[in-house]
Chains A and B, each alone.
Chain A
């Protein structure tokens, strides 16, 4: 099945593969054919970054995420910072103001307490920056070898302002696609730290809480249709999800997509496409083209959106798809990431 096309989804594998965790097509297959079926309900069904639930007159956004990054620490961030930022961002892209977070820790016997203390400190700092508190938590210890050092789960609830309805299904032809900054910093920083690539050039994870930046963008535009944070699976996968949900064709311009030169070189050497590499501090916005200049200006006024820009447009199309206009004037498809991206040989 090609990205963007609809059809009956079924799992083709008998056991869980690493690709099921890639955030790409295999992850979708697993979620839709297994979990969605088992848990089906209207709040879950849209499969967006956070679910919307009602509490009296208020609408709450509710989300959860688990963090299993190896190594635990890498330039620019650590597992604690991304555990807080990731969940805050999943709330923020629904337009919700984060109210409270939970944190669950699964620790391997023998894990150094000093390291744990450092990670907790990094979570505290990220939460403070995001203006949210970690109000409940849980700890479990497993025998040595039964887990890899430390896994963290965080959940979060946030308050959605009255009247605000952000959803990928609302995206319309004629909308502008706006990206908040450079792609692929996080994924390459982690790979560099893991693989001893020895790449220099200041490659650092972009992990950041985006709620303040997103709030500015929402204040600047009343017509915002949807916001997505770009994590696993990269921009390519997020855009395919948006195209599918809105039944549109999305066209982006290669030359408009910012990638730090050192990161781009690393991707070239490894045979990775920056469009599919993970980020932890980037979002993509969909809004009527007339609102785009205001949104870009609002994003650029925040430190995490300095390089925000319009990268493409939404068009009507016979079938949902994502196209890239290449620098030399060609066009090609951008499919959903299949499984993991594997570094190549030469």
Chain B
């Protein structure tokens, strides 16, 4: 969760001050020109995180970017990167009698291979409960002792510690009818995957501030050292984002890639040791399946041996089957920074938030949803 300061009044919080923004845009124009002439190509920065994608679209800043600069959306929307086959596992479990699926709202509309989603399954009698926190799922388990409550564990390093906390609580309070489908993903391995794509055009990464509030900066060191890609950990207010872009551009102009943080008010270099400790106790790093990318070693979190009793996949003996992507959908390309939503033939026509084909439109944090909702 983000560190939020209370603005004194709603008139003009500093984080979206127009004068400061104007001078940031001015600086951005000259830095972009410098970066383009130094590198000889358009600057394509990737915002890795869905929260950044939404913040960029909601602020309307894209239209104010100088020529020669564009922002690509990366694989940082938790719903978007969940493999089709894993979505099918969740739906399979939702169909079982005696099971209550507890999930964040984002997952409700993602369709399985059978064309159903959790919402339509709820209409057909499945018990699906939207919760705001995993602790609510735990409360649901206590209230329904005769049934099995399964939490859909989708998310990145920001979400995993909170869920680990709920699991620790379940163990301490001997709540035995609670389990989690572990579908967690890690951000740094996703970056490595993008950088390994031959001919990738990513000039630098805007990294999610809330992930670094947990993991700190060091896990990204390899991006700079091994791949020479500029990295700036950035907050989520409009001025944070403008500052993050300018820090990346400065690195490109100077030709010296570095690992920097714009988000000092929430991020410590070492991250949050307590959250990391909880996460490491309950989970261990494992292979994870990414939508339209496939399995990547050491790119996700599963239960550690001591906590395997909370693994819904084991408890309910679920077995994974790979499933094809929806027809015509280019979410995979969008997640890899190879395409923009407007490049998709389905965008705004066959695919819209109310009738989404792919997960980038389904999730409120998805790149396609952001482009649709705010007009790019």
List residues of chain A with CB under 8 Å of any chain B CB.
1-2, 12, 15, 17-19, 25-26, 191, 195-197, 254-255, 257-262, 264-265, 268-271, 273, 324-333, 335, 338-339, 341-346
Contacts and interface: CB of A to CB of B under 8 A. Distances in A.
A276 to B, nearest CB: 10
B18 A338 contact: no
B266 to A, nearest CB: 13
A255 B63 contact: no
B132 A197 contact: yes
A338 B354 CA distance: 6
* Contact-residue size bin, chain B (C-beta under 8 Å from the other chain): 35 or more
7 contacts: A12-B354, A195-B133, A325-B60, A332-B375, A342-B105, A343-B130, A345-B154
Given A195-B136, A268-B4, A346-B155, 12 more contacts: A196-B132, A196-B139, A257-B10, A271-B364, A273-B58, A324-B60, A338-B352, A341-B364, A343-B104, A345-B79, A346-B50, A346-B210
A264 B355 CA distance: 29
Contacts of B1: 269, 346
Nearest to B160: A346
A332 B354 contact: no
Contacts of A197: 132-133
Interface in B245-285: none
B106 A329 contact: no
B16 A328 contact: yes
A25 B372 CA distance: 14
Contacts of A341: 364
B233 to A, nearest CB: 15
Given A259-B10, A331-B63, A344-B365, A269 B2 contact: yes
Given A26-B354, A328-B16, A342-B364, A261 B106 contact: no
B357 interface: no
Nearest to A19: B354
A257 B9 CA distance: 12
- A contacts with B: majority SS: loop
B159 A330 contact: no
Contacts of B9: 261
A344 B58 contact: no
Nearest to B18: A329
A54 B350 CA distance: 45
Q: Choose among B1, B12, B78, B353 the residue with the greatest number of A CB atoms under 10 Å from its CB.
A: B353
Nearest to B21: A328
Nearest to A264: B10
B119 interface: yes
B179 interface: no
A192 B251 CA distance: 43
B285 to A, nearest CB: 19
Contact of A345 (B25, B59, B104): B104
Nearest to B58: A332
* 5 closest Cβ pairs, A-B complex: A330-B60, A342-B105, A327-B16, A328-B21, A332-B60
Interface in B73-112: 78-79, 104-109
Nearest to B236: A268
A346 B161 CA distance: 12
B158 interface: yes
Interface in B184-234: 210
B238 interface: yes
A330 B10 contact: no
Nearest to A271: B364
B353 A338 contact: yes
Given A196-B139, A342-B130, A331 B60 contact: yes
A255 B11 contact: yes
Interface string B341-376: 000000010001111000000011100000011110
A339 B354 contact: yes
B10 A271 contact: no
Contacts of B159: 345-346
Contacts of A17: 119, 123
Contacts of B107: 345
B132 to A, nearest CB: 4
A262 B8 CA distance: 11
Contacts of B58: 273, 326, 332
Contacts of B158: 346
A328 B59 CA distance: 7
B18 A346 contact: no
